[in-house]
């Protein structure tokens, strides 16, 4: 199991605590420090079963100023997320087969059943 984590985000910290309380093995990925590759983002999207636009933090200033008014393909959005990881919705928790966005943090329980 992996959590794509931002320590400054309360939802991310709450989700991390839930995982710790479950006494399961998981890896913490600090995606702001170690940018995700485009392939990693694609893999996450498959596990979440969503389109790239659904992974975007649309209220971020950068998105509003540079991308909001543009018509972008899935691949273009993946490239944007790769270059600008702060635009990635958080936290994301994945296992081998699927994933969830921890908003709310309790969504992580879907992976623990």
- Express each pLDDT in 81-106 by its tens digit: 999 999 999 999 999 999 999 999 99
2-112: what fold? Glutaredoxin (3.40.30)
Active site residue 9: yes
Q: How many CA atoms lie within 13 A of 5 on its CB side?
A: 17
pTM: 0.94
pLDDT at position 90 is: 95
Supply 27's token pair: 């890896």
Catalytic residue among 1, 2, 8, 9: 9
Count of beta carbons in the 10 Å neighbourhood of residue 94: 21
pLDDT at position 26 is: 97
Count of beta carbons in the 10 Å neighbourhood of residue 70: 9
Query: pLDDT (tens digit, 9 = 90+) per residue, 21-63?
Result: 998 999 999 999 999 999 999 999 999 999 999 999 999 999 9
List the beta strands (DSSP E) in 1-113: 2-4, 27-29, 92-94, 99-101
Return the domain boundaries, the chain. 2-112
């Amino acid at each position: 199991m992996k959590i794509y984590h931002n320590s400054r985000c309360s939802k991310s910290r709450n989700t991390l605590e839930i995982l710790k309380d479950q006494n399961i093995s998981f890896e913490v990925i600090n995606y702001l420090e170690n940018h995700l590759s485009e392939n990693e983002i694609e893999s996450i999207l498959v596990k979440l079963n969503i389109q790239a636009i659904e992974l975007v933090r649309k209220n971020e200033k950068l998105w509003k100023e540079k991308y909001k008014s543009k018509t972008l393909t899935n691949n273009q959005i993946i490239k944007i997320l790769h270059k600008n990881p702060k635009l990635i919705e958080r936290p994301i928790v994945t296992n081998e087969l699927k994933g969830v966005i921890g908003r709310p943090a309790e969504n992580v329980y879907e992976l623990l059943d």
